[in-house]
Structures are given as C-alpha cells and as structure tokens.
C-alpha cells in the first residue's frame, strides 16, 4: 500500500485524513508540525506528502523549499481558500498540486491516486524529442540542448505529453488528462501556472515563447522543431 505523509498542525484533520485514507488502501503517517514533517519526509519510506501551508514555526513553504533541495517526493499543498499567493508560491517551489481548505477528502484522495498512478505506470522506452528538448519517460529526465532540467512530477508529465504530441494543439483540459489522468484533470485548474514554470526552466521567452506556444482560447503547442529565441 502506498504511504501518505500528512503534515498539519490540526490534530482533528490529521485524524480524519488518517481514517479516510487508510480505509481507501493507503498507509498514513502524520507529523504535527513542519520540523517533524520535513524530518519524516527525508527519512524515506513515503510515497507522497500532503503539506499544510499555514503552520506555526516552520511553515509549509519553508518545509517545501528545504524538501525540494534534497528530494523529488510528490507534494500536495493545502492552502487557505482563496489564497492565491500561497498557491502560486507553493507551485513555484515545486509542489505537484494544491487544494484549498476546507476540502472534500474524496477530492484529495483522487488527486493522491492520480499522482501515484502516474508514478507506477510501466516505463516507456522511446525517448521523446522536439528540437532542443529531449524527454526520457523511462528515466523521467529532461534535457534542454543537452543540459539537465530539474522538473517536478507534474511539470515532467505535462512536458512529456506536449513533446509526445509535438505539432498538435492540446486543449488545456485535455493536457491535464493526458499528463495526469482523468480524475486529476477533473479537479486541477493550475495548468497555466505549470506551463509558465516549464517555460522559465526551459529558458523560453515569457512574452514571445517559441518552445511552448499558447494557442489563444484553446491550449498549448510544442512545435515539431522548436527553437528558443
């Protein structure tokens, strides 16, 4: 059973998620604060972390920043409803997804399962190439003109879907479905933020992108042979 680490200072929420997720095929471990959560995440044996942003002491953003310096463990951050700042900063620091409190545990479970399902899929042997972008689905690595590009789980899955369909326009909602699965796409609305991060990491122009083009009102396109400006 996959192991989910819940890092939250709210004891009632920790107990609720432990009971709910355990009843749906997950092993759950918890941490009551950021310091303990970071230590547990770095100790290994965890498949995904659910991380609250608003905690006393070391908050979730600090935990995420330090975790990303040492690990690619998938992370879903919990934010206050309507707090776009924490949501965007969390994604910029490398969170794979976000969920606003209060939330339905069923929605959290769907997001967790979508991320874990992608990680468990059989390896693909074909290396995907579009101009200077090279994506290796087997090793889950990406290079830009031979230089490695460090991507989060969601960023990698999005780029893999875009490069695999180079030359085709992919609608926003279809892109999330191709990258992370139907259940994930039904809840996630952060595709534009993830694409913005991808452009920055690939060295693409924010104002006039050449590697990942926006097709207004539809979605995104990676040309078959793109070149960064």
CATH 3.40.50.2300 maps onto the chain at 3-120
What pLDDT, in 10s, does the model give residues 41-71? 999 999 999 999 999 999 999 999 999 989 9
Rounded Cα gap, residues 197 and 199, in angstroms: 5
pLDDT band at 189 (very low <50, low <70, confident <90, very high): low
In angstroms, rounded to a whole number, what is the distance separating the alpha carbons of residues 173 and 188?
9
For domain 3-120, give the fold: Rossmann fold (3.40.50)
What tokens appear for 130 in the block? 């579009």
- pTM assigned to the model: 0.64
Decide if 136 contacts 122 (C-beta within 8 A): no
Q: How far is CA 171 from each of CA 24, 75, 89, 112, 131, rounded to the nearest angstrom? A: 32, 25, 25, 23, 22
State the CATH class of domain 128-221.
mainly alpha
96 in Cβ contact with 115 (< 8 Å): yes
Angle separating helix axes 191-202 and 172-180, nearest 10 degrees: 80
Q: Are 130 and 224 in contact (CB under 8 A)?
A: yes
What SS3 state is found at 12?
helix
Measured distance CA(221)–CA(195) in Å, rounded: 11
All CATH 1.10.10.10 domain ranges in the chain, comma separated: 128-221
The secondary structure of the chain in percent helix, strand, coil, rounded to multiples of 5, reads: 40, 20, 40
Is the CB of residue 22 less than 8 Å from the CB of residue 28? yes
Count the neighbouring beta carbons within 10 Å of the beta carbon of residue 195: 22
Min mean pLDDT across 68-82, 125-139, 179-193, 209-223 is at 179-193
Q: What is the mean pLDDT of the chain?
A: 88
- Distance between CA atoms of residues 95 and 101, nearest Å: 16
5 or 207, which is more confident: 5
Query: Of 173, 132, 125, which is closest to residue 149 (Cα–Cα)?
Result: 132
**Which H or E run contains 36?**
helix 34-42
């Amino acid at each position: 059973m996959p192991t989910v680490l819940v890092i939250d200072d709210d004891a009632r929420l920790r107990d609720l998620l432990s009971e709910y997720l355990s009843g749906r095929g997950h092993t759950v471990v918890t941490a009551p604060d950021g310091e303990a959560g970071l230590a547990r995440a770095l100790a290994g044996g965890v498949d995904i972390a659910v991380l609250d942003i608003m905690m006393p002491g070391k908050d979730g953003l600090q935990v995420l920043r330090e975790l990303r310096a040492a690990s690619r463990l998938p992370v879903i951050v919990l934010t206050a409803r309507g707090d776009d700042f924490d949501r965007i900063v969390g994604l910029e620091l490398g969170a794979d997804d976000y969920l606003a409190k209060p939330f339905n545990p069923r929605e959290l479970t769907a997001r967790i399962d979508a991320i874990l399902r992608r990680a468990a899929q059989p390896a693909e042997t074909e290396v995907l190439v579009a101009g200077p972008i090279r994506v290796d689905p087997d090793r889950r690595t990406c290079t830009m003109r031979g230089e490695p590009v460090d991507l989060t789980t969601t960023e990698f899955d999005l780029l893999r879907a875009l490069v695999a369909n180079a030359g085709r326009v992919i609608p926003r909602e279809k892109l999330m479905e191709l990258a992370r699965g139907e259940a994930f796409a039904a809840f996630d609305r952060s595709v534009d933020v993830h694409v913005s991060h991808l452009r920055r990491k690939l060295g693409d122009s924010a104002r006039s992108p050449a590697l990942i083009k926006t097709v207004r009102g539809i979605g995104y396109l990676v040309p078959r042979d793109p070149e960064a400006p």
